[in-house]
Amino acid sequence: MQKIASFTVNHDTLEKGMYISRIDGDVVTYDIRMKKPNGGDYFSMSEAHTVEHLFATYARNSAWKDGVLYVGPMGCRTGFYLLLRASIGYADAIKLVQESIAFIAGFEGEIPGNKKEECGNYLDHDLAGAKALGADMVAALRGWTVSDLEYKE
């Protein structure tokens, strides 16, 4: 079998940030890398679950909501995939992620979609951990530009 594109990225040199993982027709997959791969520091599934609820809620209520297709965690627990329609330009995609991460970092209150009838594992959340991840990424993405979206070798 052919190696998938995400396995061809050198994870030894990959840093926290936002990258274009792949483009399939009118869909752009972004790699929102929140932890250094293979760095020994990974987020918990509870943190990932809460980030997913907050990130998806913000993105799907943003000015770009019609172009948001998917927000979900990577199995390696170092980041998230964000799938957007290509009609959302790269600069706007960066802005959407920056705003979403800031929303997570500053979130107070009840986690959206966190009732038994709304979520398949509603008891497994970590808001404090999600907020800490968000705050760390706010700093990592400060000043991020379209030229930063390319993976570095």
Give me the percent of the chain exceeding a pLDDT of 90. 92
Enumerate long-range contacts of 139-142, CB under 8 Å, 24 or more apart. Answer: 140/16, 140/17, 140/34, 141/17, 141/18, 141/94, 141/97, 141/98, 141/101
Partner residues linked to 79 by β-bridges:
33
pLDDT for 152 equals 86
* pLDDT for residue 99 is more than 80: yes
As a whole number of angstroms, the longest Cα–Cα distance in the chain is 47
The per-residue pLDDT for range 34-76, each reduced to its tens digit, is: 999 999 999 999 999 999 999 999 999 999 999 999 999 999 9
DSSP-based three-state secondary structure for 89: coil
- Whole-prediction pTM value? 0.95
CA–CA gap between residue 20 and residue 28 (Å, rounded): 7
